[in-house]
Amino acid sequence: MTGFFGTRLLSVAMQRDIFTHLYHSPQTFEQTRDYLKFPDRPCRIFLDGLVVLGLLAKEGDRYRNSAVAETYLVKGRPEFQGANVKLFGSLYDACRELEAALVSDSPTTTSFAYFFGDDDASSANYAEIMHESGVVPSLLLMEHWDFSESEWLLDVGGGSGRLAATLASQYASLNVILFDLPPICDQAQDYLTPFPALSNRVEIYPGDFFRDDLPDGADTIVMMRVLHDWPDDTVRMLLRKAYKALRPGGRLLVYETMRRSDDKPDETFAISMLMLLISPAGKIRSFREISDLVREARFTNVEVIPTAYLYSLIVGEKPNVGDR
């Protein structure tokens, strides 16, 4: 019943950036209090709570980060999970209206205007969250799929370039087309410009996949964390566009959170809750549901590749002309 205390403590700790402050630099209570600018009583409660949660350790009169905090909660670290904490922390107020969301089957917040298509600034903010939280999924994808035979890859809904940069940095002969909304493409340009060796192989292609065709000519198309945002009819439309844009013999990779079973609940329920609270019609689909949708779009040789994390990969192939 008290679990929300811990989530709120973590959210405030990230807002105050306490873990980056303590990185490799244990401090006394007084030093930490002065940094946080909290009065004594709440500061001690706050720090004790982080110790109990296993995020800080107290040795004598000094506080230091735990190993978990050093790895995942320090800005600049490769595994930094601040974006996920920010995302779920922002849903705290929305969760107070959970019953209303369950009754109405509609979001309790419109803060994520990306789903409503009426606010470029909110779309860019959502893309920033997806960018920061995309480190682990991007690295994990390369563990489960070899892109060495790909020449041109289209990253649909590629955000501000996390996946594009990760793949381009690991595959020297790979060229990437990043397709997303214009304000998000501006973010991608800003992110990639300082890395000319990568930006020279990443083409930024602004567009709207609801209204525009996808850029054609790629031999590989990746949709990472895209389809679960939208209802089935929209997914069908996006898969048809992907089929049209892909070279014959090319492959489509759908990479996102998926349920392993149609009827057996699993740990993905938390992402289903996220979709309920922020998206008008998004949902987590099963392996079978996504595979069926991919086949319906005329892809063949559909393969399911589970990963060690919440994400899984479904691959479909566009037949060569002579194979149709």
Q: Are strands 202-206 and 175-180 parallel, antiparallel or unpaired?
A: parallel
So where are the chain's domains? Answer: 3-77, 101-323
* pLDDT per residue as tens, the chain (324 positions): 677 888 899 999 999 999 999 998 899 999 999 999 999 999 999 999 999 999 999 999 899 999 999 999 999 887 788 877 887 777 777 787 888 888 988 887 766 655 545 555 556 666 666 666 667 788 889 999 999 999 999 999 999 898 999 999 999 999 999 999 998 999 899 988 888 888 889 999 999 999 999 999 999 999 999 999 999 999 999 999 999 999 999 999 999 999 998 888 888 888 888 888 888 889 999 999 999 999 999 999 999 999 877 889 999 999 987 655
Element (H, E) at 255: strand 251-257
Statement: 3-77 belongs to CATH 3.30.565.10: no
Count of residues in the chain:
324
Q: In Å, how far are 125, 156, 289 from 242, measured between CA atoms?
A: 26, 9, 18
Q: In Å, how far are 6, 261, 321 from 83, measured between CA atoms?
A: 17, 29, 44
pLDDT of residue 125: 63
Tell me which fold the domain 101-323 belongs to.
Rossmann fold (3.40.50)
**What is the distance between the alpha carbons of residues 29 and 42, in angstroms, rounded to a whole number?**
12
pLDDT of residue 83: 78
State whether residue 146 is helix, strand or coil.
coil
How many CA atoms are closer than 13 Å to the CA of 178, on its beta-carbon side?
Answer: 29
pLDDT of residue 263: 85
pLDDT of residue 115: 54
pLDDT of residue 138: 83
φ/ψ of residue 233, rounded to 5:
-65, -40
Q: Are strands 27-28 and 152-156 parallel, antiparallel or unpaired?
A: unpaired
